[in-house]
Amino acid sequence: MTRIARRGALGALAIALAAPRLAAAQGNTIRIVVPFAPGGSTDAVARLVSPGLTQRLGATVVVENRSGAAGSIGADAVAKARPDGLTWLLTFDSHATISALLRNPPFDLMKDLDPVMLIGGSPYSIATKANKPFRNLADVIAAAKARPDAVSYGSTGNGTIGHLTMILLGEAAGVRMTHVPYRSGGLAVNDTVAGTVDMMIGSSALLLPHINGGTLRPLLQFGPQRLSGLPNTQTSTEAGFPNLIAEAWWGVFAPHGTPAPMVARMNAALRETLQEPRVQQVMTETQQARLVMSSPEEFGRFFAAEVEKWGRVVRSSGIQPD
């Protein structure tokens, strides 16, 4: 390669790497769309990382909650946004069930959004109001066997991974329980604390603050081993269900066609932000999350496997969206 050609290539690379900052400056703000109502763990993660992203991307980063239709409304808004680096989706594991759950999804799950990063995950857990009679999963199963459909549980919506996990648990334990879907983890927690539902399933990140505060009692965690924040709560394996492992996760997507340098820049900004000591502490201790901070390619492979795994459960159960 000649000196002139090398200089031209380096100049093009510099422009490409600067593209995210230039795009952000033109639009003034970068939107992180959360496809759920405020108060859940996805909203909490988005608001946790937004200050660091603001610093690193050279533009104000705002979190926009657009909930409804199993998370597809917010995801569709991002899928239809211009791929200019100004709009991103930070979503939850239930994103993997949209194509199986909705009869006519407004966008193509695998084609209209490009993976950016798998942030990390936290095992699902079941918790109940502190003054409810349930002390562990065995108590729940005994009550459900004695009164089919009388025991109720909340989740963040029909077809979410929490809901699907409870379906698998009911099948494995031979019991029927009543599902109460909510539009966000925060709403489900509120009704569980109030005693409106007998218990709820949610990410350990969502439930732990209320467990530590004494308003909720943990009954079971679906991780392969006990979390440091739930040292006295048995795992599904310990409870006799070794094949029932379920982990909540958070991931970031971009509108399809977002230039690779912009995706790389967002991935790098997320990684740097998540490695800040304060942010890392909140994620690993308060949220009880296992940080992954994957590459876009790694997230793409993980996501395809999640779509296949949980899509089978949705189809076999005949679940309909909220």
Residue 44 sits in the same domain as residue 118: yes
Asked whether residue 257 is assigned to any structural domain, the reply reads yes
Residues 54 and 74 reside in one and the same domain: yes
Same domain, 112 and 13: yes
Same domain, 107 and 186: no
CATH of the domain at 159: 3.40.190.10
d(CA 225, CA 246): 12
Rounded to two decimals, the pTM is 0.80
Nearest to 75 by CA among 36, 30, 121: 36
Looking at the fold, whether 149 and 214 belong to one and the same domain comes out as: yes
Q: Is residue 101 part of a domain?
A: yes
Same domain for 137 and 149: yes
- Residues 54, 149, single domain; the answer is no
Q: Are residues 136 and 112 part of one domain?
A: no
The per-residue pLDDT for 320 is 76
Q: Are residue 253 and residue 212 in the same domain, yes or no?
A: no
Cα separation, 185 vs 128, in Å, equals 14
Q: Which of 218, 231, 244, 236 is nearest to 135 (CA)?
A: 218
What is the total count of domains within the chain? Answer: 2
**pLDDT of the residue at 322:** 62
Does any domain span residue 243?
Answer: no
Q: What is the distance of C-alpha 287 from the center of its chain?
A: 12
Instruction: For residue 15, tell me if it sits in a domain.
Output: yes
- Residue 286 and residue 147 in one domain: no
Looking at residue 286, what is its pLDDT?
79
Instruction: Report yes or no on 238 lying in a domain.
Output: no
Q: What angle do CA 258, 259, 265 make, to 5 degrees?
A: 100
Q: Does residue 48 sit in the same domain as residue 103? A: yes
Q: What is the DSSP string of 15-62?
A: HHHHHHHHHHHHHSEEEEEESS-TTSHHHHHHHHHHHHHHHHHTSEEE
pLDDT per position in the chain (322 positions), as tens? Answer: 444 444 444 444 444 444 445 444 445 799 999 998 888 789 999 999 999 999 999 999 999 999 888 789 999 999 999 999 999 999 999 899 999 988 889 999 999 999 999 999 989 999 999 999 999 999 999 999 999 999 999 998 888 899 999 999 999 999 999 999 998 888 999 999 999 999 999 988 889 889 999 999 999 999 988 998 899 999 999 999 998 999 989 999 999 999 999 999 999 999 999 999 999 999 998 778 889 999 999 999 999 999 999 999 999 988 876 6
**Residue 231, domain member (yes or no):** no
Between vectors from CA 55 to CA 54 and to CA 61, what angle results, nearest 5°? Answer: 5
> What domain range includes position 23?
3-122+248-317
Q: Are residues 87 and 43 in the same domain?
A: yes
| Residue 241 within a domain | no
Specify the CATH number for the domain of residue 57: 3.40.190.150
